[in-house]
Chain A
Amino acid sequence: MPALRYLKDVVSLKAAPELCLGCGLCVEVCPQGVLALVDKRVVVADRDACMECGACMTNCPAEALWVEAGVGCAQAVLNSAFGRKGNACCCVAEPRAPQQGLQTSLDAAPRRKSSGCC
Protein backbone atom coordinates (compact mmCIF):
# COMPACT_ATOMS: atom_id res chain seq x y z
CA MET A 1 0.00 0.00 0.00
CA PRO A 2 1.44 3.41 -0.91
CA ALA A 3 2.14 5.64 2.10
CA LEU A 4 -0.50 8.22 2.91
CA ARG A 5 1.08 11.69 2.86
CA TYR A 6 -0.74 15.00 2.98
CA LEU A 7 0.17 18.29 1.27
CA LYS A 8 3.78 19.46 1.06
CA ASP A 9 5.23 22.60 2.68
CA VAL A 10 2.10 23.76 4.44
CA VAL A 11 2.58 22.90 8.10
CA SER A 12 2.98 25.65 10.73
CA LEU A 13 5.24 23.65 13.10
CA LYS A 14 8.29 25.48 14.49
CA ALA A 15 10.97 24.13 16.80
CA ALA A 16 13.39 26.11 18.95
CA PRO A 17 16.16 23.60 19.76
CA GLU A 18 17.98 26.18 21.89
CA LEU A 19 15.11 26.05 24.42
CA CYS A 20 14.92 22.24 24.42
CA LEU A 21 15.60 20.40 27.68
CA GLY A 22 15.96 17.05 25.92
CA CYS A 23 13.17 15.27 27.84
CA GLY A 24 11.93 13.61 24.66
CA LEU A 25 8.24 13.75 25.56
CA CYS A 26 7.44 15.48 22.25
CA VAL A 27 9.02 12.60 20.33
CA GLU A 28 6.97 10.18 22.41
CA VAL A 29 3.58 11.85 21.95
CA CYS A 30 3.87 12.65 18.23
CA PRO A 31 1.69 10.09 16.42
CA GLN A 32 3.35 10.78 13.06
CA GLY A 33 7.07 10.49 13.83
CA VAL A 34 7.71 14.12 12.95
CA LEU A 35 10.25 14.92 15.68
CA ALA A 36 13.55 13.45 16.76
CA LEU A 37 16.22 14.22 19.33
CA VAL A 38 19.69 14.93 17.95
CA ASP A 39 22.37 15.58 20.59
CA LYS A 40 19.55 15.86 23.17
CA ARG A 41 17.87 18.68 21.24
CA VAL A 42 14.61 18.48 19.32
CA VAL A 43 14.71 18.60 15.52
CA VAL A 44 11.91 18.47 12.96
CA ALA A 45 12.79 15.31 11.07
CA ASP A 46 9.72 14.89 8.87
CA ARG A 47 7.85 18.19 8.61
CA ASP A 48 5.30 17.19 5.97
CA ALA A 49 4.07 14.32 8.16
CA CYS A 50 2.90 16.81 10.82
CA MET A 51 -0.88 16.96 11.26
CA GLU A 52 -0.78 19.95 13.62
CA CYS A 53 -2.48 18.11 16.47
CA GLY A 54 -0.47 20.14 18.99
CA ALA A 55 0.51 17.20 21.24
CA CYS A 56 4.22 18.17 21.19
CA MET A 57 3.56 21.82 21.99
CA THR A 58 1.12 21.03 24.80
CA ASN A 59 3.52 18.59 26.42
CA CYS A 60 6.72 20.61 26.06
CA PRO A 61 7.71 21.98 29.49
CA ALA A 62 10.17 24.41 27.85
CA GLU A 63 7.96 25.92 25.13
CA ALA A 64 10.47 24.78 22.54
CA LEU A 65 7.77 23.81 20.06
CA TRP A 66 5.06 25.87 18.44
CA VAL A 67 2.33 24.88 16.04
CA GLU A 68 -0.94 26.44 15.02
CA ALA A 69 -2.81 23.45 16.38
CA GLY A 70 -6.18 22.52 15.00
CA VAL A 71 -8.11 19.68 13.45
CA GLY A 72 -7.68 19.00 9.73
CA CYS A 73 -11.36 18.66 8.98
CA ALA A 74 -13.05 20.27 5.96
CA GLN A 75 -16.47 20.04 7.59
CA ALA A 76 -15.20 21.97 10.60
CA VAL A 77 -13.68 24.64 8.32
CA LEU A 78 -17.04 24.99 6.53
CA ASN A 79 -18.97 25.12 9.81
CA SER A 80 -16.66 27.81 11.04
CA ALA A 81 -17.01 29.75 7.77
CA PHE A 82 -20.79 29.63 8.12
CA GLY A 83 -20.55 30.69 11.77
CA ARG A 84 -22.08 27.48 13.07
CA LYS A 85 -21.32 26.46 16.62
CA GLY A 86 -22.34 22.91 17.29
CA ASN A 87 -21.00 21.42 20.48
CA ALA A 88 -21.38 17.81 19.43
CA CYS A 89 -18.74 16.92 16.94
CA CYS A 90 -17.50 18.93 14.03
CA CYS A 91 -17.97 22.47 15.11
CA VAL A 92 -15.39 25.07 14.35
CA ALA A 93 -11.80 24.97 13.25
CA GLU A 94 -10.19 27.80 15.11
CA PRO A 95 -6.53 27.17 15.78
CA ARG A 96 -5.70 26.43 19.38
CA ALA A 97 -3.33 28.64 21.34
CA PRO A 98 -0.52 26.99 23.24
CA GLN A 99 -1.42 26.06 26.78
CA GLN A 100 -0.16 28.74 29.15
CA GLY A 101 -0.78 26.83 32.33
CA LEU A 102 -3.64 25.26 34.14
CA GLN A 103 -5.33 28.47 35.15
CA THR A 104 -5.49 29.62 31.53
CA SER A 105 -6.88 26.31 30.45
CA LEU A 106 -9.41 26.37 33.27
CA ASP A 107 -10.52 29.82 32.16
CA ALA A 108 -10.52 28.89 28.51
CA ALA A 109 -12.11 25.48 28.80
CA PRO A 110 -15.81 26.40 28.77
CA ARG A 111 -15.62 28.77 25.81
CA ARG A 112 -12.84 27.10 23.90
CA LYS A 113 -13.52 27.40 20.20
CA SER A 114 -11.18 24.89 18.66
CA SER A 115 -12.86 21.79 17.52
CA GLY A 116 -12.60 18.15 16.86
CA CYS A 117 -14.17 16.15 14.19
CA CYS A 118 -14.87 12.53 14.38
Chain B
Amino acid sequence: MNAGPQPMPLLSQVPPQEPLSCCGAEESCGDPLAQPFVLGAVDTPAGPVPQVGGELSRADHRGTLRVRLGFGRHDYKVVPGLYALNRPTPDSPVLVSANYKLSFDHLRREAHDLDAWLLVLDTKGVNVWCAAGKGTMGTAELAGRVRSSGLERVVSHRKLILPQLAAPGVAAHLVKKHCGFGVSYGPVLAQDLSAFLAAGMKADPAMRRVSFPLRARTVLVPVELTQVLLVYLWLLPIVLVLAGLGGLVSGLGFWSAMAGAGLRAVGAMLLAALAGAVASPILLPWLPGRAFSLKGLWPGLAGAALLWGLWPGAADAELLAWCLAVPALSSFLAMNFTGASTYTSLSGVKKEMRRAVPLQIAATALGLGLWVYALVAA
Protein backbone atom coordinates (compact mmCIF):
# COMPACT_ATOMS: atom_id res chain seq x y z
CA MET B 1 0.00 0.00 0.00
CA ASN B 2 1.40 3.35 -0.98
CA ALA B 3 1.46 5.42 2.17
CA GLY B 4 3.68 8.17 0.91
CA PRO B 5 2.49 11.69 0.19
CA GLN B 6 0.45 11.92 -2.99
CA PRO B 7 0.31 14.90 -5.31
CA MET B 8 -2.99 16.72 -5.02
CA PRO B 9 -5.00 16.72 -8.24
CA LEU B 10 -5.33 20.04 -10.01
CA LEU B 11 -8.50 21.82 -9.01
CA SER B 12 -9.65 22.14 -12.60
CA GLN B 13 -9.74 18.38 -12.97
CA VAL B 14 -11.99 17.83 -9.99
CA PRO B 15 -15.68 18.63 -9.92
CA PRO B 16 -15.78 21.90 -7.96
CA GLN B 17 -18.61 20.66 -5.71
CA GLU B 18 -16.57 17.83 -4.28
CA PRO B 19 -12.85 18.53 -4.11
CA LEU B 20 -11.95 15.13 -2.64
CA SER B 21 -14.37 12.96 -4.54
CA CYS B 22 -11.91 10.27 -5.46
CA CYS B 23 -10.53 9.13 -2.18
CA GLY B 24 -11.27 7.90 1.27
CA ALA B 25 -9.38 9.17 4.28
CA GLU B 26 -6.37 6.87 4.08
CA GLU B 27 -6.50 6.04 0.39
CA SER B 28 -4.13 7.64 -2.06
CA CYS B 29 -5.86 10.16 -4.25
CA GLY B 30 -4.91 10.10 -7.89
CA ASP B 31 -6.04 12.07 -10.91
CA PRO B 32 -8.67 9.93 -12.65
CA LEU B 33 -7.99 11.62 -16.00
CA ALA B 34 -4.28 10.82 -15.88
CA GLN B 35 -4.79 7.03 -15.85
CA PRO B 36 -3.36 5.42 -19.00
CA PHE B 37 -6.63 3.68 -19.98
CA VAL B 38 -8.64 6.93 -19.95
CA LEU B 39 -9.29 8.12 -23.50
CA GLY B 40 -10.51 11.62 -22.72
CA ALA B 41 -13.19 13.44 -20.79
CA VAL B 42 -16.94 13.88 -21.25
CA ASP B 43 -18.38 17.20 -20.13
CA THR B 44 -21.31 16.90 -17.76
CA PRO B 45 -23.15 19.27 -15.42
CA ALA B 46 -21.09 17.68 -12.63
CA GLY B 47 -17.80 18.43 -14.38
CA PRO B 48 -15.55 16.45 -16.73
CA VAL B 49 -16.00 12.68 -16.45
CA PRO B 50 -13.15 10.42 -17.63
CA GLN B 51 -14.08 8.38 -20.69
CA VAL B 52 -13.04 4.80 -21.33
CA GLY B 53 -13.67 2.32 -24.10
CA GLY B 54 -14.46 -1.36 -24.11
CA GLU B 55 -11.25 -2.37 -25.79
CA LEU B 56 -8.34 -3.40 -23.60
CA SER B 57 -4.88 -2.21 -24.55
CA ARG B 58 -1.74 -4.28 -24.52
CA ALA B 59 -0.83 -2.72 -21.16
CA ASP B 60 -4.24 -3.72 -19.75
CA HIS B 61 -3.69 -7.31 -20.91
CA ARG B 62 -0.19 -7.33 -19.40
CA GLY B 63 -1.67 -6.16 -16.10
CA THR B 64 -4.31 -8.90 -16.23
CA LEU B 65 -1.67 -11.54 -16.86
CA ARG B 66 0.50 -10.22 -14.02
CA VAL B 67 -2.24 -10.32 -11.38
CA ARG B 68 -3.51 -13.68 -12.66
CA LEU B 69 -0.02 -15.03 -12.02
CA GLY B 70 -0.29 -13.68 -8.49
CA PHE B 71 2.00 -10.64 -8.60
CA GLY B 72 0.96 -7.19 -7.41
CA ARG B 73 -2.73 -8.04 -7.21
CA HIS B 74 -3.14 -6.13 -3.94
CA ASP B 75 -2.20 -2.88 -5.60
CA TYR B 76 -3.99 -2.97 -8.95
CA LYS B 77 -6.47 -0.16 -8.69
CA VAL B 78 -8.59 2.33 -10.56
CA VAL B 79 -9.24 5.78 -9.08
CA PRO B 80 -12.80 5.57 -7.68
CA GLY B 81 -15.51 7.79 -9.13
CA LEU B 82 -17.69 8.15 -12.20
CA TYR B 83 -16.52 7.06 -15.66
CA ALA B 84 -18.15 7.22 -19.07
CA LEU B 85 -18.08 4.03 -21.11
CA ASN B 86 -18.20 4.96 -24.80
CA ARG B 87 -20.72 7.83 -25.31
CA PRO B 88 -23.37 7.76 -22.61
CA THR B 89 -26.32 10.18 -22.45
CA PRO B 90 -28.31 11.27 -19.39
CA ASP B 91 -30.62 8.29 -20.09
CA SER B 92 -27.84 5.70 -20.15
CA PRO B 93 -27.68 3.06 -17.41
CA VAL B 94 -25.33 3.38 -14.43
CA LEU B 95 -23.25 0.26 -13.79
CA VAL B 96 -21.58 0.04 -10.39
CA SER B 97 -18.25 -1.73 -9.97
CA ALA B 98 -15.24 -2.19 -7.70
CA ASN B 99 -11.94 -0.38 -8.11
CA TYR B 100 -9.91 -3.57 -8.61
CA LYS B 101 -8.61 -2.93 -12.11
CA LEU B 102 -9.21 -6.54 -13.12
CA SER B 103 -12.92 -6.11 -12.25
CA PHE B 104 -13.11 -2.72 -13.98
CA ASP B 105 -11.42 -4.00 -17.16
CA HIS B 106 -13.60 -7.10 -17.18
CA LEU B 107 -16.74 -4.96 -16.96
CA ARG B 108 -15.81 -2.54 -19.73
CA ARG B 109 -14.72 -5.38 -22.00
CA GLU B 110 -17.96 -7.33 -21.48
CA ALA B 111 -20.03 -4.14 -21.85
CA HIS B 112 -18.02 -2.84 -24.82
CA ASP B 113 -21.10 -2.42 -27.00
CA LEU B 114 -22.98 -0.33 -24.41
CA ASP B 115 -23.02 3.37 -23.73
CA ALA B 116 -23.10 3.52 -19.95
CA TRP B 117 -21.93 5.33 -16.85
CA LEU B 118 -19.58 3.31 -14.66
CA LEU B 119 -19.64 4.23 -10.98
CA VAL B 120 -16.46 2.82 -9.46
CA LEU B 121 -16.54 2.44 -5.68
CA ASP B 122 -13.49 2.58 -3.45
CA THR B 123 -13.16 -1.11 -2.53
CA LYS B 124 -9.43 -0.75 -1.75
CA GLY B 125 -8.56 -2.58 -4.95
CA VAL B 126 -10.57 -5.69 -4.04
CA ASN B 127 -13.00 -7.41 -6.41
CA VAL B 128 -16.78 -7.03 -6.13
CA TRP B 129 -17.66 -10.22 -4.26
CA CYS B 130 -14.81 -10.13 -1.75
CA ALA B 131 -15.30 -6.42 -1.17
CA ALA B 132 -19.02 -7.00 -0.56
CA GLY B 133 -18.06 -9.65 2.01
CA LYS B 134 -15.71 -7.17 3.67
CA GLY B 135 -18.25 -4.37 3.59
CA THR B 136 -16.12 -1.99 1.50
CA MET B 137 -18.46 -2.60 -1.43
CA GLY B 138 -21.22 -1.46 0.87
CA THR B 139 -24.25 0.71 1.40
CA ALA B 140 -22.32 3.62 2.91
CA GLU B 141 -19.64 3.71 0.22
CA LEU B 142 -22.23 3.45 -2.55
CA ALA B 143 -24.52 6.18 -1.20
CA GLY B 144 -21.51 8.41 -0.51
CA ARG B 145 -20.06 7.84 -3.97
CA VAL B 146 -23.38 8.61 -5.66
CA ARG B 147 -23.45 11.95 -3.86
CA SER B 148 -19.78 12.86 -4.29
CA SER B 149 -19.82 12.06 -8.00
CA GLY B 150 -22.76 14.40 -8.59
CA LEU B 151 -24.56 11.56 -10.36
CA GLU B 152 -27.98 13.14 -9.92
CA ARG B 153 -26.83 16.00 -12.16
CA VAL B 154 -25.36 13.64 -14.77
CA VAL B 155 -28.26 11.26 -15.36
CA SER B 156 -31.99 11.89 -15.73
CA HIS B 157 -33.08 8.64 -14.09
CA ARG B 158 -32.57 7.36 -10.52
CA LYS B 159 -31.48 3.78 -11.01
CA LEU B 160 -28.21 1.97 -10.28
CA ILE B 161 -27.34 -1.44 -11.66
CA LEU B 162 -25.17 -3.43 -9.27
CA PRO B 163 -23.52 -6.75 -9.91
CA GLN B 164 -25.55 -9.35 -8.02
CA LEU B 165 -22.46 -10.36 -6.08
CA ALA B 166 -22.36 -6.91 -4.46
CA ALA B 167 -25.50 -7.87 -2.52
CA PRO B 168 -23.72 -9.22 0.62
CA GLY B 169 -22.50 -5.68 1.30
CA VAL B 170 -25.26 -3.49 -0.10
CA ALA B 171 -28.72 -3.11 1.40
CA ALA B 172 -30.79 -2.04 -1.61
CA HIS B 173 -33.62 -0.52 0.46
CA LEU B 174 -31.18 1.63 2.46
CA VAL B 175 -29.39 2.92 -0.64
CA LYS B 176 -32.68 4.30 -1.92
CA LYS B 177 -33.32 5.99 1.40
CA HIS B 178 -29.90 7.60 1.63
CA CYS B 179 -29.13 8.80 -1.88
CA GLY B 180 -32.41 8.65 -3.74
CA PHE B 181 -31.19 6.09 -6.25
CA GLY B 182 -32.85 2.70 -6.52
CA VAL B 183 -30.78 -0.46 -6.81
CA SER B 184 -31.34 -3.17 -9.40
CA TYR B 185 -29.22 -6.25 -9.08
CA GLY B 186 -27.84 -7.27 -12.44
CA PRO B 187 -26.57 -10.71 -13.38
CA VAL B 188 -23.70 -12.48 -11.60
CA LEU B 189 -21.53 -12.36 -14.71
CA ALA B 190 -20.81 -9.18 -16.66
CA GLN B 191 -21.10 -11.18 -19.89
CA ASP B 192 -24.88 -11.41 -19.29
CA LEU B 193 -25.31 -7.63 -18.91
CA SER B 194 -26.44 -6.98 -22.48
CA ALA B 195 -29.06 -9.74 -22.26
CA PHE B 196 -30.17 -8.39 -18.87
CA LEU B 197 -30.63 -4.88 -20.23
CA ALA B 198 -32.28 -6.09 -23.43
CA ALA B 199 -34.82 -8.04 -21.34
CA GLY B 200 -35.81 -4.85 -19.50
CA MET B 201 -33.47 -5.39 -16.52
CA LYS B 202 -34.58 -8.96 -15.94
CA ALA B 203 -32.16 -11.77 -15.24
CA ASP B 204 -33.21 -15.34 -15.85
CA PRO B 205 -32.52 -17.76 -12.98
CA ALA B 206 -29.35 -19.12 -14.58
CA MET B 207 -27.87 -15.61 -14.65
CA ARG B 208 -28.43 -15.39 -10.89
CA ARG B 209 -26.45 -18.51 -9.99
CA VAL B 210 -22.77 -18.79 -9.31
CA SER B 211 -21.07 -21.81 -10.80
CA PHE B 212 -17.48 -22.96 -10.59
CA PRO B 213 -16.65 -24.55 -13.94
CA LEU B 214 -13.30 -25.95 -15.01
CA ARG B 215 -12.27 -22.72 -16.73
CA ALA B 216 -12.97 -20.61 -13.63
CA ARG B 217 -11.00 -23.02 -11.44
CA THR B 218 -8.08 -23.28 -13.83
CA VAL B 219 -7.60 -19.54 -14.11
CA LEU B 220 -7.11 -19.42 -10.31
CA VAL B 221 -4.37 -22.07 -10.30
CA PRO B 222 -1.39 -19.79 -11.07
CA VAL B 223 -2.11 -17.60 -8.04
CA GLU B 224 -2.32 -20.67 -5.78
CA LEU B 225 0.91 -22.04 -7.20
CA THR B 226 2.75 -18.71 -6.92
CA GLN B 227 1.79 -18.45 -3.26
CA VAL B 228 3.24 -21.90 -2.50
CA LEU B 229 6.37 -21.35 -4.56
CA LEU B 230 7.08 -18.06 -2.78
CA VAL B 231 7.09 -19.96 0.52
CA TYR B 232 9.26 -22.66 -1.07
CA LEU B 233 11.85 -20.00 -1.97
CA TRP B 234 12.94 -20.00 1.66
CA LEU B 235 11.68 -23.41 2.73
CA LEU B 236 13.49 -25.51 0.12
CA PRO B 237 16.99 -24.11 0.87
CA ILE B 238 16.39 -24.91 4.56
CA VAL B 239 15.42 -28.49 3.67
CA LEU B 240 18.52 -28.86 1.46
CA VAL B 241 20.81 -27.62 4.23
CA LEU B 242 19.09 -29.93 6.74
CA ALA B 243 19.73 -32.88 4.41
CA GLY B 244 23.38 -31.86 4.13
CA LEU B 245 23.74 -31.58 7.91
CA GLY B 246 22.17 -35.04 8.24
CA GLY B 247 24.83 -36.30 5.85
CA LEU B 248 27.54 -34.94 8.16
CA VAL B 249 26.04 -36.88 11.06
CA SER B 250 25.58 -40.12 9.11
CA GLY B 251 29.06 -39.87 7.57
CA LEU B 252 27.69 -39.73 4.02
CA GLY B 253 29.04 -36.20 3.66
CA PHE B 254 27.29 -32.82 3.34
CA TRP B 255 27.17 -32.55 -0.44
CA SER B 256 26.27 -36.12 -1.28
CA ALA B 257 23.41 -36.13 1.24
CA MET B 258 22.22 -32.84 -0.18
CA ALA B 259 22.32 -34.24 -3.71
CA GLY B 260 20.52 -37.42 -2.56
CA ALA B 261 17.91 -37.02 0.16
CA GLY B 262 18.01 -33.23 -0.22
CA LEU B 263 17.06 -33.15 -3.89
CA ARG B 264 14.52 -35.92 -3.29
CA ALA B 265 12.93 -33.68 -0.64
CA VAL B 266 12.73 -30.82 -3.13
CA GLY B 267 11.08 -33.16 -5.64
CA ALA B 268 8.59 -34.46 -3.08
CA MET B 269 7.62 -30.98 -1.96
CA LEU B 270 7.18 -29.75 -5.52
CA LEU B 271 5.01 -32.80 -6.17
CA ALA B 272 2.90 -31.93 -3.10
CA ALA B 273 2.45 -28.40 -4.47
CA LEU B 274 1.31 -29.79 -7.82
CA ALA B 275 -1.11 -32.16 -6.07
CA GLY B 276 -2.61 -29.59 -3.71
CA ALA B 277 -2.50 -26.34 -5.68
CA VAL B 278 -2.90 -27.57 -9.27
CA ALA B 279 -4.47 -31.04 -9.44
CA SER B 280 -6.93 -30.50 -6.58
CA PRO B 281 -8.54 -27.29 -7.93
CA ILE B 282 -8.73 -28.67 -11.46
CA LEU B 283 -10.11 -32.07 -10.45
CA LEU B 284 -12.32 -30.62 -7.67
CA PRO B 285 -15.73 -32.04 -8.69
CA TRP B 286 -14.37 -35.51 -9.30
CA LEU B 287 -12.36 -35.89 -6.09
CA PRO B 288 -14.26 -37.93 -3.46
CA GLY B 289 -15.51 -36.12 -0.36
CA ARG B 290 -17.03 -32.72 0.30
CA ALA B 291 -14.37 -31.21 2.55
CA PHE B 292 -11.54 -29.63 0.53
CA SER B 293 -8.97 -31.13 2.91
CA LEU B 294 -10.33 -34.57 2.02
CA LYS B 295 -10.41 -33.81 -1.71
CA GLY B 296 -6.76 -32.75 -1.54
CA LEU B 297 -5.75 -36.00 0.12
CA TRP B 298 -6.28 -38.08 -3.04
CA PRO B 299 -3.86 -36.31 -5.40
CA GLY B 300 -1.41 -36.28 -2.48
CA LEU B 301 -1.67 -40.04 -2.02
CA ALA B 302 -1.24 -40.53 -5.78
CA GLY B 303 1.89 -38.38 -5.58
CA ALA B 304 3.22 -40.42 -2.67
CA ALA B 305 2.65 -43.66 -4.59
CA LEU B 306 4.52 -42.17 -7.52
CA LEU B 307 7.52 -41.36 -5.31
CA TRP B 308 7.56 -44.91 -3.97
CA GLY B 309 7.86 -46.14 -7.54
CA LEU B 310 10.41 -43.49 -8.58
CA TRP B 311 12.91 -43.97 -5.78
CA PRO B 312 13.48 -47.70 -5.23
CA GLY B 313 16.90 -46.92 -3.77
CA ALA B 314 15.68 -44.62 -1.00
CA ALA B 315 15.43 -45.82 2.59
CA ASP B 316 12.05 -47.12 3.72
CA ALA B 317 11.89 -44.53 6.51
CA GLU B 318 12.49 -41.73 4.00
CA LEU B 319 9.79 -43.02 1.64
CA LEU B 320 7.38 -43.45 4.53
CA ALA B 321 8.16 -39.89 5.62
CA TRP B 322 7.06 -38.54 2.23
CA CYS B 323 4.03 -40.83 2.16
CA LEU B 324 2.88 -38.91 5.25
CA ALA B 325 4.07 -35.41 4.39
CA VAL B 326 3.06 -35.19 0.71
CA PRO B 327 -0.63 -36.07 1.30
CA ALA B 328 -0.71 -33.81 4.39
CA LEU B 329 0.73 -30.88 2.45
CA SER B 330 -1.57 -31.51 -0.50
CA SER B 331 -4.57 -31.66 1.83
CA PHE B 332 -3.54 -28.36 3.44
CA LEU B 333 -3.09 -26.60 0.09
CA ALA B 334 -6.42 -27.89 -1.22
CA MET B 335 -8.06 -26.66 1.99
CA ASN B 336 -6.65 -23.21 1.29
CA PHE B 337 -8.49 -23.25 -2.04
CA THR B 338 -11.77 -22.85 -0.09
CA GLY B 339 -11.15 -19.10 -0.18
CA ALA B 340 -10.97 -19.04 -3.96
CA SER B 341 -13.96 -21.33 -4.41
CA THR B 342 -17.47 -20.01 -4.93
CA TYR B 343 -19.55 -22.22 -2.64
CA THR B 344 -17.90 -22.75 0.77
CA SER B 345 -19.40 -21.33 3.97
CA LEU B 346 -17.43 -20.02 6.94
CA SER B 347 -19.20 -22.48 9.29
CA GLY B 348 -18.24 -25.35 6.98
CA VAL B 349 -14.63 -24.24 6.63
CA LYS B 350 -14.27 -23.96 10.40
CA LYS B 351 -15.75 -27.42 10.85
CA GLU B 352 -13.45 -29.07 8.34
CA MET B 353 -10.42 -27.23 9.74
CA ARG B 354 -11.13 -28.44 13.29
CA ARG B 355 -10.83 -31.99 12.00
CA ALA B 356 -8.21 -31.65 9.29
CA VAL B 357 -5.61 -29.26 10.69
CA PRO B 358 -4.58 -31.45 13.68
CA LEU B 359 -4.23 -34.44 11.34
CA GLN B 360 -2.23 -32.41 8.82
CA ILE B 361 0.10 -31.20 11.55
CA ALA B 362 0.48 -34.68 13.05
CA ALA B 363 1.25 -36.30 9.68
CA THR B 364 3.74 -33.58 8.77
CA ALA B 365 5.50 -33.78 12.15
CA LEU B 366 5.69 -37.57 12.01
CA GLY B 367 6.96 -37.36 8.44
CA LEU B 368 9.62 -34.83 9.43
CA GLY B 369 10.71 -37.06 12.32
CA LEU B 370 11.00 -40.10 10.05
CA TRP B 371 12.87 -38.10 7.43
CA VAL B 372 15.43 -36.86 9.96
CA TYR B 373 15.78 -40.42 11.30
CA ALA B 374 16.39 -41.72 7.77
CA LEU B 375 19.00 -39.00 7.17
CA VAL B 376 20.94 -39.71 10.34
CA ALA B 377 20.69 -43.48 10.07
CA ALA B 378 21.69 -43.60 6.38
- From B205, B345, B349, B350, name the one whose CB has the most chain A CB atoms within 10 angstroms: B345
> Which chain B positions have C-beta within 8 A of A68?
346-347
Q: Is the CB of B130 within 8 A of A89?
A: yes
Q: Nearest chain-B residue to A107 (Cβ)?
A: B140
For the residues of B in contact with A, the DSSP-based class is helix
Query: Given A4-B284, A29-B164, A33-B209, A74–B353 Cβ distance below 8 Å?
Result: yes
Q: Is the CB of A102 within 8 A of B212?
A: no
Q: Is the CB of B174 within 8 A of A102?
A: yes
Shortest Cβ gap from B280 to chain A (Å): 13
Closest 4 interchain pairs by CB?
Answer: A116-B130, A73-B339, A72-B344, A70-B346
Interface size class of A (residues with CB under 8 A): 35 or more
Query: What total of A-B pairs shows CB separation below 8 Å?
Result: 195
Q: Answer whether residue B112 sits at the interface, using C-beta atoms and an 8 A cutoff.
A: no
> Which chain A positions have C-beta within 8 A of B212?
4
Tell me the A residues contacting B by CB distance below 8 Å.
1-8, 10-12, 25, 28-33, 49-55, 58-59, 61, 68-77, 87-90, 93, 95-96, 99, 101-102, 105-106, 108-110, 112, 114-118
Interface size on B, residues (CB 8 A): 67
Query: Given A11-B345, A51-B343, A59-B171, A71–B165 Cβ distance below 8 Å?
Result: no
Query: Given A59-B171, A102-B139, A89–B349 Cβ distance below 8 Å?
Result: no
> Which chain A positions have C-beta within 8 A of B210?
31-32
Shortest Cβ gap from B345 to chain A (Å): 4
The residue that A31 contacts in the complex, of B169, B208, B286, with Cβ under 8 A, is: B208
Rounded to whole angstroms, the CA-CA distance of A50 and B343 in the bound complex is: 8
Query: Given A51-B343, A89-B126, A102-B178, A115–B133 Cβ distance below 8 Å?
Result: yes
